């Protein structure tokens, strides 16, 4: 298990590093993105994401819901195959859930 680390090199850009799983997510992780003071678009780079499970997918969905309530768009970059497969397995369309940026 690799702990989750969420880096913010700038106000509207985040990098998720490590595992995004039930055992690594806590209340702090859920609130790390500050949608109230963010730009209208937030980029989240998943290139350094390790493992992800259904709890990690649920967290991303919650972030999307919060972002939409603040009229903020989340753009996920470098979406790993494991996350795409998990979304499909959960009957969630990658296109309707994520704004893809390659």
User: Is 1 or 11 the better-scoring residue by pLDDT?
Assistant: 11
Q: Name the burial class of residue 77, with classes exposed (0-12), middle (13-18) and buried (19+) by CB atoms within 10 angstroms of its CB.
A: middle
Over residues 43-52, mean pLDDT = 94
Tens digits of per-residue pLDDT, 82-94? 988 888 887 776 5
pLDDT greater than 80 at residue 95: no
Quick one: pLDDT band at residue 102, thresholds 50, 70, 90?
very low
Instruction: Tell me the sheet residues that pair with 20.
Output: 52
For residue 18, the surrounding DSSP H or E stretch is: strand 13-20
> What gap in Å lies between CA 57 and CA 84, rounded to an integer?
10
User: Is 10 or 18 the better-scoring residue by pLDDT?
Assistant: 18
Of 56, 87, 63, nearest in space to 14 by CA: 63
The total number of residues shown for the chain amounts to: 102
Q: Which of 1-5, 19-23, 25-29 has the highest mean pLDDT?
A: 19-23
Q: What is the CATH number of domain 5-101?
A: 3.30.750.24
């Amino acid at each position: 298990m690799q702990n989750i680390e969420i880096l913010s090199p700038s106000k509207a850009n985040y990098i998720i590093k490590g595992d995004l799983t039930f055992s690594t997510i806590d209340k702090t992780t859920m609130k790390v993105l500050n949608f109230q003071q963010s730009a209208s678009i937030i980029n989240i780079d998943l290139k350094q994401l390790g493992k992800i499970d259904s709890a990690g997918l649920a967290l991303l969905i919650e972030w999307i819901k919060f972002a939409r309530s603040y009229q903020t768009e989340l753009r996920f970059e470098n979406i790993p195959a494991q996350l795409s497969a998990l979304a499909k397995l959960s009957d969630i369309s990658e296109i309707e859930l994520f704004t893809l940026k390659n």
